[in-house]
Structure 1
Amino acid sequence: MESQESELIAPPEKSDPRGLASNENYWRKVARQYSVDPDFVNLEAGYFGLMARPILREYTRRIEALNASNSHYMRTHLEADYEAVRERVARLLRVSPEEIAFTRNATEALQHLIGNYKNIKAGDTVLYADLDYPDIQQVMNWLQSRRGAVVAKFDLPEPATRQAVLDAYERALAKHPQTKLLLVTHMSNRTGLVPPTKDIVAMARARGVDVVVDAAHSWAHLDWGVPDLGCDFAGFNLHKWLGAPLGAGFMYIRKERLDDIDIDYADDEFPPTDIRSRIHMGTWNVAVLNTIPTALDFHLTIGARNKDARLRYLRDRWALRAPEVGPFEVLTPNEPGAYGAITSFRMTGKVAPADNKAIAKWLMDRHRIFTVAREGVANGACVRVTPALYNTVDQVDALVDALRELGRNGLPT
């Protein structure tokens, strides 16, 4: 059955990603692999990814098997399965398996990378931007009370361009010459901005600044591997755009830099030379781990470049038209390489969180289109729109029609 489903979602031979992105016959076959609530249009895929049916079936099977075998599996087979899955993920990332360790999510990975980073002393600066994930901003702030670090924050420009973002990082680093650690988010959960991360990492390294990359949203969403970023430390999710079960993430530490991340709570289960000594999870749901290969198979059958192109195509279909149908500001740039599926907008002058929550509520109540309001952007709150592979062009067009009505009539009072 699963092989037949793989055949169904395999792209037509010799199709190029750009042409395939608008092939609705093909993407309808992909969409049918998902069980989606028909009561509303889900344009909020940024929280976590739906499991496609083959993945959900495998996860259910793995849970049942784990429940039946209990600790016998954990004590006799888990290590070999862990290594096999780690090898597959590492191969796609173009890194060594010993450079990654599984976690429950990117937040957990980043908490350990930042919290256990050894090279902060009192008076050193840690630096981040307004579009970085709030929970990870909090970890950077924690370094002030625990390590005596100086915390600095700066704002990324609107409208953003590749050069403007680079200039903002350069100014921030110049303003804070004592910076030792910089947080860079490869795809912002607030606006979807994809900054020129490799160039920022190189800029920081030239100043003696280490960079931790938050890749929670970008891997298996955009088509890239770790060498494309040039970073030494990063945190990832597998339950967002790969579509693995909830509770799947991992950390990356370049092997030459392992000693710069402290052992987690003096962990001695693994030797200091093993990255797994940097994250101790206790007993965890290894059915999640064992479902990752099926999620990888589904992802690879579609193709990373094809998936990337389709997500951008769905995004462009509404984001390029929104400013034409009403007083809407699209916060994510249209520059190639600067965005994926996630994109946020606001109505001109509507910068308060309450305004944007009201817009998201209106879209849901009147048009059954689910989006989410986001706060923390320096220039004001916004509404985030995130299509996924199960969305159709008709659903995205419905959002444009709704925005046209909103722009014409405004929110009801």
Structure 2
Amino acid sequence: MAGAFSANSLYNELHAESISAANRTVDHLSALDVAKDEDYWSVIQQAYTTSPNLINLNNGGVSPAPRVVQEALERYNKLANEGPSYFMWEILDQGREPLREKLAELAGCDKEEVVFNRNATESLNTIIFGLELKAGDEVIGCKLDYPNHMNAWKQRALRDGIHYNQLSFNFPIENDDEIVAAYEKAITPKTKVIHVTHVINWVGQIMPVRKIADMAHRHGLEVVCDGAHSFALLDFKIPDLHCDYFATSLHKFLSAPIGSGMMWIKKEKITKIWPLLGNGDPRSSNIRKFETLGTRSFPIEQGIGEAVNFQLGIGNKRKEERVRYLKNYWAERVTAHQKVKLWTSLKPEYSCAICGVSIEGLSPKEIERALFLRYKIHTVAIEYENVKCVRVTPHVYTRLPELDKFARAITEIATAGK
């Protein structure tokens, strides 16, 4: 069987030649310059099969997979169904270790620190419920972290008597020191863990994870990082964040099959984390103790490999700069209208793909509905805590005429006032 990392991979069959040729035309350019090269990105756009009847600007929720990932998923699913217990356990299961190695390479970490699962929620629940905390221990988080993860900490508080302290921020904030100081001020002698979201999913604020982690470690604390909206978008290596635990959903910016995720635990921390699902040796230092899941979708796992190939074909830095360029492209066009407000910084160190926008006199739901019904543009309305906006998230397949239409739509809706 031709695996994702063989010479006969689907990526090599479908995209390698065209993407390599496109890369050769821009290899002399910086990533910032490539971000504006529409000829280059037209090659990438052609690899996707998105509907021409809908402009999808909610890629922060889940991203479509390029054709190569879809075909891999179909190929492996057909193979599995030819004889499930044989082809799943004897054939597809053997592809997990090469995939672990390649994904670790993309993440810049040791393959013995990487686990596959379904999403960031599953990963973070494993970490949150696996940490040894007792009644009275304190955890610091933020009210704008992702709800599933906040609920996991709240359940630990209810069940185990820990104290969960949530900070509040008014984003955008263009000052790392202000954010770090807020976390440091909340530390008490009973604090054990800081939970930080790398990219705030509501408004796209990039948090200074490394600075928070370094500060936390000076106080003897551990750091859990939610990287659902940063991995395969921002150009970084997980160990460079200096966190102790990291989780992401691969079906967001990696464009892997829907229902795929990754957990990273620093090697020396593996032993201390209890698996969420029972394992014969729960105190093992082997990262695979977290993969005792029984029967799961082997085709989805192997489809991740082709998504990794596609990502490496483009390059992390080029991808980051392109998606940031797309976000700024539309955002800069709507700010001239006096009724339009952005909830996200446009400075590169504080945001990339996600940007929140609101219109005076209209609720987020009214804006979302108008965008869809009048212009067939899909976004998501955010009304949570102190955030009231429409979240807009382009991806590499998004075309400039689509963003022109979106910017025009926002201006027209703001002018009409309804």
Quickly name the TM-score band, shorter chain normalised.
over 0.9
User: What is the aligned partner in structure 2 of residue 395 from structure 1?
Assistant: 402
Q: How does 1:11-410 map to 2 (within 5 A)?
A: 11=23, 12=25, 13-118=27-132, 120-163=133-176, 164-173=178-187, 176-268=188-280, 272-348=284-360, 355-376=363-384, 378-410=385-417
Return the alpha-carbon distance in structure 1 between the equivalents of residues 81 and 281 of structure 2. 25
Return the alpha-carbon distance in structure 2 between the equivalents of residues 371 and 264 of structure 1. 34
User: Identity over aligned residues, as a percent?
Assistant: 33
Return the alpha-carbon distance in structure 2 between the equivalents of residues 268 and 144 of structure 1. 28
267-276 or 107-116: which moved more?
267-276
Residues 322-375 of structure 1: CA deviation (Å, up to 9, x unaligned): 22123222112122221111111223466xxxx111111111111221110123
Residues 157 and 165 of structure 1 are in contact (CA less than 8 Å); yes or no, is this contact kept in structure 2? no
Return the alpha-carbon distance in structure 1 between the equivalents of residues 13 and 278 of structure 2. 45
Offset of residue 4 of structure 1: 5.4
Return the alpha-carbon distance in structure 2 between the equivalents of residues 283 and 162 of structure 1. 46
For 2:114, the aligned partner's letter is I
> Which segments of 5 or more consecutive residues in structure 1 lack a partner in the other structure?
none
Residues 6-63 of structure 1: CA deviation (Å, up to 9, x unaligned): 2222322323211111111121221111111111211111111111111111111111
Return the alpha-carbon distance in structure 2 between the equivalents of residues 294 and 142 of structure 1. 37
User: What is the aligned partner in structure 2 of residue 6 from structure 1?
Assistant: 16
> Which segments of 5 or more consecutive residues in structure 2 lack a partner in the other structure?
1-9
163-172 or 141-150: which moved more?
163-172
Return the alpha-carbon distance in structure 2 between the equivalents of residues 128 and 270 of structure 1. 27
Offset of residue 271 of structure 1: 7.1
334-343 or 184-193: which moved more?
334-343
Residues 104 and 110 of structure 2 are in contact (CA less than 8 Å); yes or no, is this contact kept in structure 1? yes
Aligned to 2:63, the other structure's residue is in SS state coil
Change (3 A) 1:36 1:87: same
Residues 261 and 278 of structure 1 are in contact (CA less than 8 Å); yes or no, is this contact kept in structure 2? no
Residues 327 and 353 of structure 2 are in contact (CA less than 8 Å); yes or no, is this contact kept in structure 1? yes
How many residue pairs match? The answer is: 403
Change (3 A) 1:349 1:117: farther
392-401 or 5-14: which moved more?
5-14
For 1:121, the aligned partner's letter is K
